[in-house]
Amino acid sequence: MTTSLIAMGVAIFLVINLVVGLAGLSLLIGTFETLFGKPKLTLLRSTQSGNFFAFGFKWNSAKEPARIDNIKLRLFNPFGTPTQVEVKKPFETKTGTFAVEVDMGPGFIELLGAKNLDLAMIQVEVSSTKDGVSFQFDMKGPKFKKLMTDAQMTVEEYQTGNKLNGPTKTMGPPIDIPVRSFIADVVPGKGVQLAIPTNPAFAAQFAGMGGGAAAAGPAKEAVPNFPIAKVWIEPGCIVCNACEDIYKEVFEVLADTCIIRLNAPLDDGLRIQEAAEACPVEVIKYTKAS
Ligand code: SF4
């Protein structure tokens, strides 16, 4: 009798423990869900016609810090035409909840106008090309179409609703970044050679640049340095870091733009000029001191 009472007591104790444990676990999961909620993509109403795609994106940037800068849409349409479309575009880097309106190009119209979209799948990928982080959202064609059609909130409204500061960001036409190559050019009669300053075959090309060109021929006259009156950054910086790498005492690259440091030295005009020339989008401007 006593033994069975003890066994029953132990069983009740274990059951109570189990229930309390499960309740605690679900509470914990709930808390985690609140703290580290899933990334959320919201399709927004574009205020521009044509190829523009507007969306808002929210993720736990404290848990998963990333510099988000790319949007990609993929259509998988095995029963229609075209069977596949992929459009992607970069935009200004974002490090927290944001909304943007991006010109996706003519491929976006092709994607939206695909035949048999009802049987297709669409994947929306929001990613960071700098950190290798990506968030993917798969949805059936009809759902994507409905979300696009039902979208009422604009980028601005999304920003206001999420208490985001800063102006609405819109991506213009793609920027062509010039490619600078020093790799194997064909020299008539000599075959492939490196187009570098020390190669006499390319001496003329590097005339006046100084540096290693000395080995290509007679020494060039040193370019005199000069002071700068003012240096500034115009809108359009793509935060590539080139200027800061060249002259960090003057340029400071932030999350989404570059600024001129307070009390930046302005006596080395040649380095500022070098940074301006290295800027792929040519937004560094300066005036020489008279
Ligand atoms: S080089 Fe130009 S684009 Fe790159 S960070 Fe500096 S200002 Fe921005």
**Closest Cα to atom 7 of ligand 1:** 237
**Residue 181's pLDDT band (boundaries 50, 70, 90)?**
very low
Question: Lowest-pLDDT range, 42-46, 122-126, 160-164, 220-224?
Answer: 220-224
Question: How many angstroms separate the alpha carbon of residue 251 from the centre of ligand 1?
Answer: 9
Question: How many angstroms separate the alpha carbon of residue 242 from the centre of ligand 1?
Answer: 6
**Closest Cα to atom 4 of ligand 1:** 240
Question: How many angstroms separate the alpha carbon of residue 244 from the centre of ligand 1?
Answer: 8
Question: How many angstroms separate the alpha carbon of residue 138 from the centre of ligand 1?
Answer: 35
Question: How many angstroms separate the alpha carbon of residue 272 from the centre of ligand 1?
Answer: 12
Question: How many angstroms separate the alpha carbon of residue 151 from the centre of ligand 1?
Answer: 35
In ligand 1, the atom with minimum distance to the C-alpha of 282 is 2
What pLDDT digit, counting tens, does each position of 67-109 carry? 999 999 998 888 888 888 888 999 998 988 999 999 888 888 8
Amino acid 131: pLDDT? 82
What is the pTM assigned to this prediction?
0.47
Name the range with the highest mean pLDDT among 13-22, 117-126, 218-227: 117-126
Amino acid 213: pLDDT? 43
What pLDDT digit, counting tens, does each position of 207-252 carry? 666 554 444 455 556 788 999 999 999 988 888 888 999 999 999 9
Q: Does residue 277 surpass a pLDDT of 70?
A: yes
The structure tokens listed for 192 are 């492939």
The structure tokens listed for 203 are 């001496």
In ligand 1, the atom with minimum distance to the C-alpha of 257 is 8
Q: Measuring from each residue's beta carbon to the nearest atom of ligand 1, which residues come in under 6 Å?
A: 233, 237-243, 251, 253, 258, 279-281, 283-284
In ligand 1, the atom with minimum distance to the C-alpha of 253 is 5
Domains of the chain: 40-171 (2.60.40), 224-290 (3.30.70.20)
**Residue 166's pLDDT band (boundaries 50, 70, 90)?**
low
**Closest Cα to atom 1 of ligand 1:** 279
**Residues 136, 123 contacting (CB under 8 angstroms):** yes
Q: Does residue 150 surpass a pLDDT of 90?
A: no
Average pLDDT over residues 49-77: 88
Question: How many angstroms separate the alpha carbon of residue 73 from the centre of ligand 1?
Answer: 28
